[in-house]
Amino acid sequence: MRVPGRLLNWLFSPESDHWLSILRIGFAFQLVLYCVSLWTDWNQLLASTGGAFVSRDLTEAIVSLESPLIPRLGWFVAVGKTIGLGEPMVVNFVWYCLFVAGILLAIGLFCRPIAGAAWLLHLAAVKSGNLATYGVDNFVTIGLFYLMLSPLPDRLALDFWWRHRKSRDRRWLGFFRRVLQVHLCLIYFFGGLTKVLGRGWWDGTNLWRALTRPPFDIISADVLVRFKCVFPIAGIGICLLEIGYPFFVWHRRVRRPWLAAILLMHIGIGVAMGMYLFASVMIVLNLAAFGPGILWHHRQPADDGGPFSGSTVCSPNN
């Protein structure tokens, strides 16, 4: 078989929607956690005046210099003004919308439009507080972006049972799963490669620094120092896990322990550094991308049929 043909088959291989259920439900909880974790500081992070960390107007001005197409809360505030709503009300309304979007995504009601709305609102909130963002926001954006594009609804969604909406051809489910898989491989590969090039990851210095650096110093340094001989091994282990991910996660024999080790690493980051949101988003992405079929066997749904036969056949409900 020609390589392009094999590549096409690999990219568009028919797939069940188990991974999409994990992605949808996982990101629904991620959105709810995001809202709940920032409830008390939401206005302080996103207000344009009056005790904000950094004025939202300034952040949005910087963002719009990069591109006026990047969504931001200012758009919604401007719309709110035209109907007589003040800025604080609109900013709070966005919080409620995101929270409700999380709930609706979790139960799978109006999946596709809600996924799009959640992506837009979350992105706008993140970009309007762009100077105070960290890695988790990027990963939530990535996840919601793929969720929005994926052929929702999945079999566990209320849309499927109640509104009789069905996912399109399973090839598109396979394609978007591949997209997520390839993206994760690139993330880990470049993350690992960059770590390998830092001296501190070889002797455990960076791990010590990461764990003792505020605000990640959850575990006392007095406790950590007892495990000092573990740091170099753990540091090298993290580099190898990350850089080896795109190679070994596909390997029949080692993919299960490799994925399990990556998941354990993220659980460790969450517990030891207090980065619960970061840990959970990475776990959800990994479980959605590689969980079904590696960590547990999944059976193709009976009415999904066998291998893909050729043309794109849309469900009558779509």
Partner 1 sequence: MCRKNIYLAWFALHFFLITAISIRELFSLIADGLTIIPSHTDGAWSQAEKITSVIAGQSLAPSDPARKTLVGYMHAAGIEGAFGFFAPNVPESYKLVFEFRYPDGRVEEDLPDVQSHAAGLRLGSLLDRIGRSNSEQFRRVLIWMLTSGAWNRHPDAVSARAVFGTLKLPDLDQFERGLKPSYEFLYAYEFTARVTFPDSTEQ
Site for partner 1 in 165-204 (CB under 8 A): 172, 175, 179, 182-183, 186-187, 190-191, 193-195, 197-201, 204
Angle formed at CA 128 by CA 55 and CA 67, multiple of 5 degrees: 115
How far is the C-alpha of 55 from the C-alpha of 77, rounded, in Å?
14
**Options 1, 65, 83, 302; binder of partner 1; rule CB under 8 A:** 65
Q: Report how many residues bind partner 1 under the rule CB under 8 A.
A: 75
Helical H runs in the chain?
Answer: 3-11, 18-38, 42-46, 56-66, 73-82, 87-107, 111-128, 135-149, 158-161, 170-196, 205-212, 221-224, 230-248, 255-273, 276-294
Pick the closer one to partner 1 by CB: 108 or 122.
Answer: 122
**Applying CB under 8 A, does 13 fall inside the site for partner 1?**
no
* Least Å from the CB of residue 134 to partner 1: 4
**Closest among 2, 4, 22, 317 to 173, alpha carbons compared:** 22
**Applying CB under 8 A, does 40 fall inside the site for partner 1?**
yes
Using DSSP's 3-state secondary structure scheme, residue 6 falls into helix
Residue 156 is given by DSSP the state T
**Options 23, 28, 38, 117; binder of partner 1; rule CB under 8 A:** 38
Whether omega before 113 lies within 30 degrees of 0, making that bond cis, reads: no
Pick the closer one to partner 1 by CB: 21 or 181.
Answer: 181
**Applying CB under 8 A, does 5 fall inside the site for partner 1?**
no
**Options 9, 13, 44, 92; binder of partner 1; rule CB under 8 A:** 44
* AA letter at 93: F
Q: Are 125 and 46 in contact (CB under 8 A)?
A: yes
Let me know how long the chain is.
318
* Least Å from the CB of residue 206 to partner 1: 5
Q: Binding pattern to partner 1, positions 238-277, x when CB under 8 A?
A: ------------------------------------xx-x
Listed ranges 82-90, 101-109, 224-232, 284-292: which one lies at the site for partner 1 (CB under 8 A): 224-232
In the window 128-157, what residues touch partner 1 (CB under 8 A)? 129, 131-135, 137-142, 145
Q: In this structure, what are the phi and psi dihedrals at residue 258, rounded to the nearest 5 degrees?
A: -65, -45
Pick the closer one to partner 1 by CB: 201 or 290.
Answer: 201
How far is the C-alpha of 85 from the C-alpha of 121, rounded, in Å?
17
Listed ranges 49-57, 82-90, 94-102, 294-302: which one lies at the site for partner 1 (CB under 8 A): 49-57
**Applying CB under 8 A, does 66 fall inside the site for partner 1?**
yes
**Options 10, 58, 79, 230; binder of partner 1; rule CB under 8 A:** 58
**Applying CB under 8 A, does 92 fall inside the site for partner 1?**
no
**Which tokens hold the place of 198?**
């830092």
* Least Å from the CB of residue 297 to partner 1: 28
How far is the C-alpha of 39 from the C-alpha of 22, rounded, in Å?
25
How far is the C-alpha of 196 from the C-alpha of 202, rounded, in Å?
7
* Least Å from the CB of residue 141 to partner 1: 3
Q: DSSP states of 277-317 as a string?
A: HHHHHHHHHHHHHHHHHHTB--PPPGGG-SS--SS----TT
**Applying CB under 8 A, does 223 fall inside the site for partner 1?**
no
Pick the closer one to partner 1 by CB: 108 or 117.
Answer: 117
**Applying CB under 8 A, does 6 fall inside the site for partner 1?**
no
